[in-house]
Amino acid sequence: MSRFYFDLASPECWLAAERVLQDVPQPCEWIPVLARDPLPAFRCAEEESIWRMELERRARALGLQKVRWPPEVPFDSSFAMRCATYARGAGKTVAFALAAFRQAYCAGRDLGDPENVLIAAAACEIHPRALLKGAELRSTREALERASAEVPGQVPVVVEPSAPSQRLGG
């Protein structure tokens, strides 16, 4: 089975997530991780602006909603990624991740704010109290740490069975 590693703080992961649904020909396990570097390194504001325009262009080409940037990019995704890890244990990784990505990059909401994460959870029928409790469990934290340690390189990445990993940029 293929594995797709993602961090909600990365707009590149959002675009990759939307593509994975269409382009990966077999079942794919979505694995939440805390990326070391959720964004490319920019030398100046102009370079970041060009990157944002290119990401917006790619979103349009995929037929996605218009990009609305959250106040900070990247935002602190630690809570949201613990929630995604909890959702993974409940078998709702894909639904939660897509709802959260769309809250961040289509609604312009900061997923560093727990209220915005709870909106994403509600969209995939995860009870808010269960999510809040699950995100604070030691087992959830440890599962996220293990997954983050095993990710092969930069996110977004899809690892095919018996094949090298493929970075899903560009």
Predicted confidence (pLDDT) at residue 163 exceeds the cutoff of 60: no
What mean pLDDT do residues 98-105 have? 98
Helix (H) or strand (E) holding 93: helix 93-105
Helix (H) or strand (E) holding 58: helix 45-61
What mean pLDDT do residues 103-117 have? 97
Helix (H) or strand (E) holding 98: helix 93-105
**What does pTM read for this prediction?**
0.91
Q: What is the DSSP secondary structure assignment for residue 65, as one 8-state letter?
A: P
What mean pLDDT do residues 51-59 have? 97
pLDDT in tens, 64-81: 999 999 999 999 999 999
Identify any residues that bridge with 32 across adjacent strands, giving them in sequence order. 6
* % of the chain beyond a pLDDT of 70: 95
Domains of the chain: 2-167 (3.40.30.10)
Predicted confidence (pLDDT) at residue 152 exceeds the cutoff of 90: no
Q: What is the DSSP secondary structure assignment for residue 107, as one 8-state letter?
A: S
pLDDT in tens, 13-32: 999 999 998 887 778 999 99
Alpha-carbon distance of 75 to 8, in angstroms, equals: 9
What mean pLDDT do residues 112-129 have? 96
Instruction: Identify whether the C-beta of residue 109 lies closer than 8 Å to the C-beta of residue 116.
Output: yes
